[in-house]
């Protein structure tokens, strides 16, 4: 939707420029009338006040980066119409409409506050030592290091984060996992998950988070190294992914939202895909914990009893080969500007 909003702004600018050309060249009758520019001047003043007082940033109440420049482009075009003595009444009226639309679009770029109660869990991985990770949401969902033996002997290890700080991220491989004991709060009916990921290799079933895998929800990179999310709902099980394919050995901020019959993906703060062919609320899981590094907290040795117990067989499972950092889970669907604000807050600043 952010891309669509940007395209809408560009269309507004283009239409305003086109109207200036065609109306001035084709509608000569207006030239004989007195042109009233009062409404346009009032709208330009209003737009300039909005532009001047707006602050771009990542905090609630601020505007998404780049949005002021888009508004200023439309203001400048409108100012040109006002200053041009040859402007017709039609051009002036069109400028008022275009500037009004641009201001309305600009207001959609304001960052809405994220209610603190909507944050379910936040694991920053800043401890740098030990075998536990703290949940900084205040909900107490701390995690414990471990291993899923069926995938190998891997254990979570402290590693370098995207800033180059040692011991501020965690690497996973061969069944290394972090377990968060089950709580209904980490199993909401709608969800937003945001985190930093760095894949060591491209591989199938590169699963870095799961709550009973596809019987609850799971987050992963698929065989083409694209971001992939599975949501089990009261209507169906939905597997969806998004371009682009991610490079290995490179940090990316990724996010997914599910709710309101939509699933949206984000890469580095930008919405990359919106799926509107999904339905229902996320189902409730019982008897399984949330895990990072693998897709499920329980695995079966064979497929024999799956239809009865729905425990994921090892041969259908998967583990993550790479590093993770700054995991957040919300119990609501965050907006594109809210996702962008998280990315801008956590990214490496130039």
Percent of the chain with pLDDT over 70: 90
- Kindly indicate the confidence band of residue 17, based on its pLDDT and cuts at 50, 70 and 90: low
* C-alpha neighbours within 13 Å on the C-beta side of residue 236: 7
Q: 30-52 pLDDT, tens per residue? A: 445 799 999 999 999 999 999 99
Q: 94-130 pLDDT, tens per residue? A: 999 999 999 999 998 888 889 999 999 999 999 999 9
Count, residues in the chain: 350
Q: What is the pLDDT of residue 2?
A: 47
- Ranges in the chain annotated CATH 1.20.1270.90: 2-107
- Ranges in the chain annotated CATH 2.60.120.200: 116-346
Q: How far apart (Å, rounded) are the C-alpha atoms in residues 211 and 204? A: 19
The CATH fold of domain 2-107: Substrate Binding Domain Of Dnak; Chain:A; Domain 2 (1.20.1270)
Nearest Cα residue to 283 out of 167, 162, 189, 171:
189
Burial 155-179 (b: 16+ CB within 10 A, else e): bbebbebbeeeeebbbbbbbbbbbb
Q: Mean pLDDT over residues 11-29, rounded? A: 48
- 301 is written with which tokens? 């040795």
Which CATH code, of 3.40.50.2300, 3.30.450.20, 3.10.20.740, 2.60.120.200, is assigned to 116-346?
A: 2.60.120.200
């Amino acid at each position: 939707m952010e891309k669509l909003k940007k395209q809408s702004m560009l269309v507004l600018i283009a239409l305003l420029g086109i109207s200036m050309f065609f109306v001035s060249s084709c509608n000569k009758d207006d030239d004989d009338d007195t042109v009233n520019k009062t409404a346009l001047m009032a709208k330009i003043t209003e737009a300039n006040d909005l532009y001047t007082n707006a602050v771009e940033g990542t905090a609630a109440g601020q505007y998404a980066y780049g949005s002021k420049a888009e508004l200023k482009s439309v203001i400048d075009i409108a100012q040109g119409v006002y200053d041009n003595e040859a402007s017709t009444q039609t051009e002036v009226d069109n400028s008022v409409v275009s500037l009004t639309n641009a201001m309305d679009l600009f207001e959609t770029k304001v960052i809405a506050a994220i209610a603190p109660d909507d944050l379910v869990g936040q694991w920053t991985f800043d401890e740098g030592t030990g075998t536990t990770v703290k949940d900084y949401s205040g909900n107490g969902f701390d995690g414990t290091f471990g291993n899923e033996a069926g995938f190998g002997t891997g254990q979570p290890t402290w590693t370098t984060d995207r800033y180059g700080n040692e011991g501020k991220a965690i690497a996973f491989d061969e069944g290394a996992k972090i377990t968060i004991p089950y709580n209904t709060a980490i199993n909401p009916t709608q969800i937003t998950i945001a985190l930093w990921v760095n894949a060591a290799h491209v591989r199938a079933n590169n699963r870095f988070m799961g709550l009973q895998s596809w019987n609850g929800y799971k987050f992963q990179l698929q065989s083409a190294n694209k971001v992939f999310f599975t949501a089990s709902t009261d209507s169906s099980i939905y597997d969806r992914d998004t371009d682009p394919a991610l490079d290995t050995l490179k940090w990316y901020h990724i996010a997914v939202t599910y709710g309101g019959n939509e699933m949206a993906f984000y890469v580095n703060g930008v919405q990359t895909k919106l799926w509107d062919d999904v339905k229902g609320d996320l189902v409730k899981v019982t008897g399984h914990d949330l895990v990072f590094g693998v897709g499920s907290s329980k695995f079966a040795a064979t497929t024999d009893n799956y239809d009865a117990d729905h425990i994921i067989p090892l041969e259908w499972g998967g583990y993550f080969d790479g590093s993770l950092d700054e995991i957040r889970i919300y119990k609501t669907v965050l907006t594109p500007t809210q996702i962008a604000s998280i990315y801008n807050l956590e990214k490496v600043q130039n």
